[in-house]
Amino acid sequence: MIYPVHSIPLDDCRPPRLDAAVATKWLTAFLRDELVVRRNLGHAVIGLSGGIDSAVTTALCVRALGADHVSCFALPYRTSNPASRADAQLVADSLGVSLRTIDISAAVDGYLQVEADADTRRRGNIMARMRMIILFDQSAKLSGLPIGTGNKTERLLGYFTWHADDAPPLNPLGDLFKTQVWELARFLRLPAQVIDKAPSADLEAGQTDEGDLGLSYPRADAILSRMLDGVGDAELLERGFDADDVAIVRRRVDGTHWKRHLPTTAMLTNTAINEFYLRPVDY
């Protein structure tokens, strides 16, 4: 099933729109089918950061499974903004789900004691991967499954930590642009405080996603959606898109292609897993 996206005039530079009602119905069915029917699991485990992506993911899981079958975890580091934890609690309260806080500072610092020269990027990756270790372990404890929260924009731009944000086996938002996630959040009536704040990985004071990327999400989504439709860079410029924005998006998409694939296997036989050996469900 494909959810309808509103058509955009060729010379319009807006990002794609979304039929939020249809998308909600489809994603709810997807989660219920993948968790309960295919995997015989009835519990979702989510890292609830206080941001919009994890908030929307939680809301969809509640619709699919019920609040009693959704467990959320706030996983702050000692430098994390306390406002993020407060926003996570606001979302949890609005949806009626449990929220447990597990501070990752001791675990992360245990490694950083022997890697004191790690820069901000490395430290952020370590934190992201530690959070995923906890979510997978809690899933084992609760007989559930960790649910991914990454959106299509982040995935295409490579704005995520490999084997961390992308690690969960289910991802309801992976085919939604960031601007479409905002539309879904409004339809789901999530707290305005969470919807309206600037997206941030919360790695350091004042850090924002759009500051890191060098352009806004709406501008990125408008370009990405047309690139995926086969529109070349020259034609994007003819349609009125900014040359610097197009260059940023193209460089990120091309430079992070490897992050969107399973590890590359050196093939020695015609039964290499994920190369040749596939079950019918894998096609």
Q: How far apart are CA 178 and CA 165, in angstroms?
A: 15
Question: Which pLDDT does position 280 carry in this prediction?
Answer: 58
Residue 195 confidence (pLDDT) above 80: yes
Give the pair of three-digit tokens for residue 252. 């990120």
Is 200 part of any domain? Answer: yes
- Between residues 207 and 252, the one the model is more confident about: 252
Question: Which pLDDT does position 74 carry in this prediction?
Answer: 98
Q: How far apart are CA 115 and CA 225, in angstroms?
A: 40
Give 29-66 pLDDT, tens digit per residue: 999 999 999 999 989 999 999 999 999 999 999 999 99
Is 10 part of any domain? Answer: no
Handedness of CA 145, 157, 124, 85 (dihedral sign): negative
- Measured between alpha carbons, how far is residue 168 from residues 8, 112, 165, 214 in Å? 33, 25, 7, 28
Give 134-192 pLDDT, tens digit per residue: 999 999 999 999 999 999 999 999 999 999 999 999 999 999 999 999 999 999 999 99
Question: Which pLDDT does position 277 carry in this prediction?
Answer: 59
Residue 9 confidence (pLDDT) above 80: no
Is 110 part of any domain? Answer: yes
Q: How far apart are CA 185 and CA 115, in angstroms?
A: 39
Strand order in the sheet with 145-146: 98-101, 70-74, 44-47, 145-146
CATH classification of the domain holding 114: 3.40.50.620
Question: Which pLDDT does position 156 carry in this prediction?
Answer: 96
Question: Which pLDDT does position 161 carry in this prediction?
Answer: 94
Is 7 part of any domain? Answer: no
Is 69 part of any domain? Answer: yes
- Between residues 14 and 86, the one the model is more confident about: 86
- Measured between alpha carbons, how far is residue 72 from residues 34, 90, 167, 277 in Å? 19, 12, 17, 36
Is 99 part of any domain? Answer: yes
Is 5 part of any domain? Answer: no
- Measured between alpha carbons, how far is residue 58 from residues 134, 146, 224 in Å? 17, 11, 26
* Phi (first) and psi of residue 172, to 5 degrees: -75, -20
Give the pair of three-digit tokens for residue 162. 């490999």
User: Which domain range does residue 74 map to?
Assistant: 20-282
**Predicted structure pTM score:** 0.91
Question: Which pLDDT does position 25 carry in this prediction?
Answer: 98
Question: Which pLDDT does position 271 carry in this prediction?
Answer: 78
Question: Which pLDDT does position 158 carry in this prediction?
Answer: 95
- Region 212-230: mean pLDDT is 95
What's the whole-number average pLDDT of the chain?
91
Question: Which pLDDT does position 265 carry in this prediction?
Answer: 81
Is 8 part of any domain? Answer: no
Residue 8 confidence (pLDDT) above 50: no
Domain count, the chain: 1
